[in-house]
Structure 1
Amino acid sequence: MRRMILAGLAALAASPALFADTPAALPAGTLDLETVMANPDWIGAAVEAPYWSVDGRSLYYSLKQDGSKLRDRYRVDLASGRSEKLGPDALAQAEGPAVFDRQHRQAAFLLHGDVFLVEPGTGRRVQVTRTPETETSPRFSSDGRALQYRQGKQWFVYDIAAGVAAPAAVLNVGDDPRGKQPDALGRDQLRLFKALRAAKAEKDAARANEETLAAADPGRAPRAIWLGDVGEVIDTELSPDGRWMLVVAQSKDAKAGKTPELMHYVTESGYAETQATRTYVGHRDPVPQSLLLVDLRARKSYPLDAGALPGIKDDPLKDLRAGAVAALNQAGRGDEAKALKAPEQRAVRIISDADDGGGGGVAWSDDGGNLAIQLRAIDNKDRWIATVDFDRHALVNQHRLTDRAWINWNFNDFGWLKDGHTLWYLSEETGWSQLYAKAPGGKARALTSGRFELSHPVLSEDGQWFYLRSNQVAPYSYDVYRLPAQGGQLTRVTQYQGMDDFVLSPDGRQLAVLHSAPYVLPQLAVQDAAGGAPRELTQGMKPGFAQRAWIAPKIVGVASTHGAGTIWAKYYGPTDEAAAGSRPAVIFVHGAGYLQNVTLSWSNYFREQMFHNLLVQRGYVVLDMDYRASEGYGRDWRTAIYRQMGHPELEDLLDGKAWLVKEHGVDPHRVGIYGGSYGGFMTLMALLCAPGEFAAGAALRPVSDWSSYNHEYTSNILNDPQLDPEAYAASSPIEYADHLQDALLIEHGLIDDNVLASDSIRLYQRFIELHKKNFWMSLYPMERHGFVNPDSWHDEYRRIAELFDTYVKPAPAQEAAMGR
């Protein structure tokens, strides 16, 4: 392991500004729950959102204020290495993350929601907008003469020479009322009445004159383009050359579905207040979307039909559909059976950043001559990348990724090389996220291959290199790699093993790198883009945390007995390994399902990691496993849970328990389990589907019935409940409630709008009706899914510790004496 307990911290260059408000260090020594669950400001400050200055001579970044959710912005001068916190006056003169024209003669950025233009050579700066709205997405036109940006769905073009901004287009839904032709009655009226004919001729002449003047005068605002009855416009994307606009639309009449409400009992008003949340899975499927290509020059629009995409008319759920329809018909529920009829053409949506975590759904080449669109089937089984034939106004498929389970929401990045006609994209088609290139109509080339993941691809400004995040060395070790854009050797650039993010400098010569370690928050360094020794720029750890002797988690491989290979895990135990055999054990289960917690980086579960130190101090050993469905281990690891959530993961957790018994002599009767969210769900599955294997479990904010969770996550894995009720029955802990025999603590925030508290309350009622014993529930009136109040954190983990001390820690002789 590259970093043992805080090794190398002293070598980091401390920035005095980071410690200006640091309270006195907490005393070293015995760890306690008050310290572990205190406000995390005592730990230090994570560097957030770094970006380069326009001239590439400094870096900006943000730090959270102690005792507040507010962030301060800092600037570090690379020549001196000195950081300064920017006050209000300095912030007004700061820069935002910049974009450049193709010759790097001009740059633009956003600051406080407005657009600014700057010349890198002279520093001359022009404020382009000053509006109450928030502008986004600044970029230069392909010829560099204009700056494009957007307000919501409306694109604007700023003419740099003229200093004038105007809408790129005015798009109206519906038909142009001025172009409406008279019906039979209207024609009769015009035939009969001279005055009406004269009035109509005057209106027609005025309209023709207006169009003539507008065509001859570029200084006028653009005339409206009428799109017809396309429904509701969801998004628009302007081409860099200003010629085309892509419109994404959907029906205005989609049914909202019933929305459950939660109750706020502790409020400022003193009255209980309700809050609407989100619909249940299967009660509001995503609304199908359509595409429209608008020629802004010819003022015409053309639908882009997805019907030619390969597989779009197939039904990957055919067998499940047939079974569900037959069952409903047999039960006399014919109307419900009819609702499950397969469509003639599968509905699609455009992949967006919000949908997949990266990549976006539309990519223009720099010159605007090529457009690629990423579409996803609403049934989650297919992803297509299609280009647009501008002459035929048609979609042309370039890549289809299909999966019997579901398409990943990650690893969907794509774009164009700097040549403007070569498409690049990430794909899991081999089972691992790898990088590919393809000329439209040509054959795809794999630029990388191997049993590791690639993500966050960044193409250098000169088009020569891809920079990527990868775990090529080991599943738990992440660094920056680079690859020639035309293919070649994938070369490791950083050596951190705990690399979290990176930003390439404007000239492509340097990397700003965010890196961390198990007990080191993300910090900022800079190094040559080709590799070499980094220069550390921040050190945001406070002495009270940094000086403690934390236990370095040992990364271990647990052999699967179910053919899954190696299950990677973090092991926390005493320095004297010989002492582990006499100890009880706890297995921690991370949340989110598709998340990787076994890494050499700072963990999202830093409180739990400190709690694991406390458990070791109190006589336990702890195992934290990346069970099947976790991120970082390829497609098959992710999709192993399709239609059977909770079962492959439980096999892995039981293998982890067996490993503790075999490798560390742990008593198999003295093992506890706990986790939150998906980890809470897995705790329930462990106790209810493997009764007697765990002495006790604590399920925090758990899903107990997947039919009451959200659509976007659940339908990927279990399909719709109307179509696949068997998958929901097999995967929901509430269906196994009669198996409870071990001690169970359930903890849930009452205003959790992710996993609703009703999940825990419904399961609790099942236990009551089944006359079960040794189960408890603790509810937290002011907490959502992620707890924020230290008092709640403390109470939550006090109860967990007491549960384990009562039901897991005692030796068999003690249990017998206590009557258990």
Structure 2
Amino acid sequence: MKKYLVFFLLLTGVAQAQQLAPLTVQKIMRDPKWMGVSPTNYRWSEDSKTVFFTWNPENKEKDQAYKVSVSTNKPEIAADNEAAKAAGNNYTYNKDKSLALYEKGGDIYFYNFKSKKESRLTNTVDRENGAYFLYNNDVVFQRGDNLFQLNLQTNEFKQLTNFVKGKRPAIPERAVATMQDSWLKTEQTELFDIIKKRNKTGGRVQGFGGRGRFGAADANQKTIKPIYLEDKFLSGLVVSPDGRFVSYRLTTPVITNHNTIVPNYVTSSGYTEDIAGRTKVGENLTVSENFLYDGEKDSVYTVKTAQITGIKDLPDYVKDYPKQLEERTQKNEDRKVNLGSPEWNENGTTAIITADAQDNKDLWVLKLDAATGNVTVLDRQRDEAWIGGPGVGRGIDWIDNNRFYFQSEATGYSHLYVFNVATGEKKQITSGKWEVQRTQLSKDKTTFYITANKEHPGITHFYKVSVNGGELVQITSMKGGNEITLSPDEKWLAINYSYMYKPWELYIQANKPGAKAVQITKSTTAEFDSYKWRQPDLVSFKNRYGDDVYARVYPAANPHPNKPAVVFVHGAGYLQNVHYWWSQYFREYMFNNLLADNGYTVIDIDYTASSGYGRNHRTGIYRDMGGKDLTDQVDGVKMLVEKYGVNPKHVGLYGGSYGGFITLMGMFKEPEVFAAGGALRSVTDWAHYNHGYTANILNEPLNDPIAYKRSSPIYYADKLKGNLLMLHGMVDENVHFQDIVRLTQRFIELGKDNWELAVYPVEDHGFVEPSSWTDEYKRIFKLFETTLKK
């Protein structure tokens, strides 16, 4: 009897250990492995029969390689050699895909699919990389700074370029012939027969193996024009399909910029150590020039950007600065542009190249005349805010020798277009108030496979459409997030799928509309599954400008008598969080469940500038961060008051990074709406953030100070009324700790005392340690409990 009792108690203990409820911060902020580990890193075998992936279903210390056959649908551990082969064989094919190249261990390998034979083409201590086929099946690859060509039929191996590090040697004095030099040379020829003889034979003396005793060179020896790199960086080497033209980019480093320093206090040495950081927005940008080397003529010339239509056009914002407008108009300078690498059609007759203005207002698609460096504008996208959107400026490629495809926000949403260089016709392939997010051309080049949010802004599906346009055919059917890895033979889909309360799992489906997707993996733990995770209400409301704004709402299970509400603000960088798939903010998703369990109604808004909603939503914060993105939060609270019965006097908000920035702006600019806020790793002054992100939205501090003062929380710190908790990692290399320290000093000088700062000495921007996650969210929960439930 005792034996059965002990067994029963053991089972009871295990069952209790697997019960997650009630949620606590300590439970949900543990190492995420407690939830289970989703599969990642999908890749197909070359024969399209097996999917390899990385997984850890048994919660081991390290993830392992797994495989699943489409014939069995049963996952199993993969042998190291087969997993490595699937991961390493990132083939580059020839035109008919009968031959392939790949790099392994710094050498180039060749594979013949007909004979199923592999050959090693290089075996050197140098690294060879970037191998691809020319139109005639010759192989081109890069070694060091130079390109080489190998003929697989004759084994002829030749060098295509002669880039030389350092400066061009100085020309010695008297290197240029004078009249005196000419007189002496003539005299020598007249006096000596040996000179006459050698002049006739090009300086060679017979009997010395083609090289004279005085070291004269072989007249048949090929020379390649040396191109001296000096102090510049070489990049973007591309060879035309016929091997004649080499395009390349030289970039001059900027040595006058001030790089920031991030002090690291908790170190193994016991001393404070400095981390070299990024520059701040508005610092000088690197300057690049694009060149073409003509192997036939052994000559170099530049790509002529001055010919680009609109190259001198100024952005509209300079109208706010009359003196700047006058000066820039008088200078009438070409704007600086960044050029992409040429994309050649298959037979090498035509190349296209993209150019984007450094002020982010223009993107051009250009036809490049490689023989002259001249360019012709085929398409221009102009945006007075900034060019962007999914797929825009990326993924441009050829369908055939006359047509290429690209994406554009010309209609307000990113859609797919085909351009015919022979006729000049631009044809729109997809249309509607939704976005094409990814595009892939089929092997036979008759079909586009696309991922898009046509059904709903928060649902992605896989579709196909003819390259000539026509009906868009939906292939996947599961509601949520569908991320597709297409098999090489295009008959199968490996689907990374998730739903709101279901983390990502692997499914396999035939590449046919209506085919059933079969679940392969089950990754969540019994403890995770024991809690009934909420499917939040996915709603939309009209903001004060009449725009549709989408939100997730977590209604309170049993509302507290104060009927409090909390706004969670997601981060930015162009991101979406109101969707039907598992959130990258999984910790915050669980914390929102905890808040709802404790009587709070929680809302999570895809505010203006979130991704997935088109150009106007994307650029709605131009020159005014903390404008529409903040008022959307306020309008969301109004909706909660009207439809969910929350008390407008008891509303808090929290978020990290951009969410922390909005939390600060909410506490400063809308103190009557938000009583408490938890601001994590917040930007407090945009003039101290990086260039790549900030200059798009606010231009540069020196040129547009109005935008920076309008958008930076530090200028509104005197308006703080509610209770503010700030939390920041001290080794944050993205939003520097200096940012929050500057705001802290501002509060001290203003005499504010309703704020706190919690610091995390070992954390970068994205926290890693579970103890840090636990500490910061315990503090946020305490803030809401002690302020919103009073």
**Normalised TM-score (structure 1):** 0.85
The secondary structure found in structure 2 opposite 1:213 is coil
Taking structure 1 as reference, are residues 92 and 701 closer, same or farther at Cα in structure 2, changes over 3 Å only? closer
Match of 1:673 among 653, 656, 659: 653
* Structure 1 residues 498-537: aligned runs within 5 Å: 498-531=480-513, 532-537=515-520
* Residues 729 and 737 in structure 2, CA contact (< 8 A), matched pair in contact too: yes
Amino acid of the residue matched to residue 52 of structure 1? W
Match of 1:47 among 35, 39, 45: 39
Q: Distance in 2 between matches of 1:671 and 1:172?
A: 64
* Structure 1 residues 583-622: aligned runs within 5 Å: 583-622=563-602
Match of 1:446 among 428, 431, 454: 428
Amino acid of the residue matched to residue 268 of structure 1? S
Q: Distance in 2 between matches of 1:803 and 1:405?
A: 38
Could you say which residue in structure 2 is the equivalent of 1:59?
51
Please say if 1:237 is aligned against 2:238: yes
Taking structure 1 as reference, are residues 417 and 242 closer, same or farther at Cα in structure 2, changes over 3 Å only? same
Q: Distance in 1 between matches of 2:719 and 2:507?
A: 53
Please say if 1:258 is aligned against 2:258: yes
Task: Write the deviation string for residues 251-273 of structure 1: whole angstroms up to 9, x where unpaired.
Answer: 35x34411110110000111110
Q: Distance in 2 between matches of 1:321 and 1:251?
A: 32
Percent identity (aligned): 33
* Structure 1 residues 311-390: aligned runs within 5 Å: 311-317=310-316, 319-320=318-319, 322-323=321-322, 325=324, 344-351=333-340, 361-390=341-370
Give the C-alpha shift of residue 554 in structure 1: 1.9
* Structure 1 residues 464-483: aligned runs within 5 Å: 464-483=446-465
Taking only aligned residues, the RMSD between alpha carbons, in angstroms, comes to 3.4
Q: Distance in 2 between matches of 1:69 and 1:798?
A: 28
Taking structure 1 as reference, are residues 66 and 712 closer, same or farther at Cα in structure 2, changes over 3 Å only? farther
Match of 2:526 among 537, 543, 546: 543
The secondary structure found in structure 2 opposite 1:681 is helix
The secondary structure found in structure 2 opposite 1:290 is strand
Could you say which residue in structure 2 is the equivalent of 1:434?
415
Taking structure 1 as reference, are residues 259 and 633 closer, same or farther at Cα in structure 2, changes over 3 Å only? same
Could you say which residue in structure 2 is the equivalent of 1:213?
220
The secondary structure found in structure 1 opposite 2:710 is helix
Q: Distance in 2 between matches of 1:725 and 1:392?
A: 42
Could you say which residue in structure 2 is the equivalent of 1:649?
629
- Indicate the larger mover: 194-203 or 420-429: 194-203
Task: Write the deviation string for residues 31-84 of structure 1: whole angstroms up to 9, x where unpaired.
Answer: 121221111112222322312211212122223698899653333222222333
Match of 2:675 among 670, 695, 715: 695
Q: Distance in 2 between matches of 1:113 and 1:56?
A: 27
- Indicate the larger mover: 128-137 or 535-544: 128-137
Give the C-alpha shift of residue 305 in structure 1: 0.5
Amino acid of the residue matched to residue 36 of structure 2? G
Task: Write the deviation string for residues 656-693 of structure 1: whole angstroms up to 9, x where unpaired.
Answer: 10011111100001111000000000000101111121
Could you say which residue in structure 2 is the equivalent of 1:805?
785
Match of 1:739 among 716, 719, 743: 719
Could you say which residue in structure 2 is the equivalent of 1:295?
294
Amino acid of the residue matched to residue 349 of structure 1? N
* Residues 554 and 592 in structure 2, CA contact (< 8 A), matched pair in contact too: yes
* Residues 230 and 249 in structure 1, CA contact (< 8 A), matched pair in contact too: no
The secondary structure found in structure 2 opposite 1:35 is helix
Please say if 1:247 is aligned against 2:248: yes
Give the C-alpha shift of residue 190 in structure 1: 6.5
State the number of aligned residues: 758
Q: Distance in 1 between matches of 2:167 and 2:770?
A: 58
* Residues 51 and 59 in structure 1, CA contact (< 8 A), matched pair in contact too: yes
Match of 1:488 among 470, 495, 500: 470
* Residues 189 and 196 in structure 1, CA contact (< 8 A), matched pair in contact too: no
The secondary structure found in structure 1 opposite 2:396 is strand
Amino acid of the residue matched to residue 286 of structure 2? V
Taking structure 1 as reference, are residues 68 and 364 closer, same or farther at Cα in structure 2, changes over 3 Å only? farther
Give the C-alpha shift of residue 381 in structure 1: 0.5
Task: Write the deviation string for residues 260-290 of structure 1: whole angstroms up to 9, x where unpaired.
Answer: 1011000011111011101111122x22322
* Residues 153 and 235 in structure 1, CA contact (< 8 A), matched pair in contact too: no
Q: Distance in 2 between matches of 1:204 and 1:734?
A: 77
Please say if 1:126 is aligned against 2:119: yes
Q: Distance in 2 between matches of 1:264 and 1:204?
A: 67
Please say if 1:568 is aligned against 2:557: no
Please say if 1:777 is aligned against 2:770: no
The secondary structure found in structure 2 opposite 1:658 is helix
- Indicate the larger mover: 498-507 or 650-659: 498-507
Amino acid of the residue matched to residue 267 of structure 1? T
Amino acid of the residue matched to residue 549 of structure 1? K
Q: Distance in 2 between matches of 1:212 and 1:182?
A: 25
The secondary structure found in structure 1 opposite 2:286 is coil
Unpaired runs of 5+ residues, structure 2, are 1-14, 190-194, 205-210
* Residues 110 and 116 in structure 1, CA contact (< 8 A), matched pair in contact too: yes
* Residues 37 and 59 in structure 2, CA contact (< 8 A), matched pair in contact too: no
Could you say which residue in structure 2 is the equivalent of 1:758?
738
Amino acid of the residue matched to residue 702 of structure 2? Q
Taking structure 1 as reference, are residues 744 and 256 closer, same or farther at Cα in structure 2, changes over 3 Å only? same
Could you say which residue in structure 2 is the equivalent of 1:818?
none
The secondary structure found in structure 2 opposite 1:687 is helix
The secondary structure found in structure 2 opposite 1:516 is strand
Taking structure 1 as reference, are residues 66 and 727 closer, same or farther at Cα in structure 2, changes over 3 Å only? farther
Give the C-alpha shift of residue 229 in structure 1: 7.9
- Indicate the larger mover: 501-510 or 590-599: 501-510
Match of 1:627 among 592, 602, 607: 607
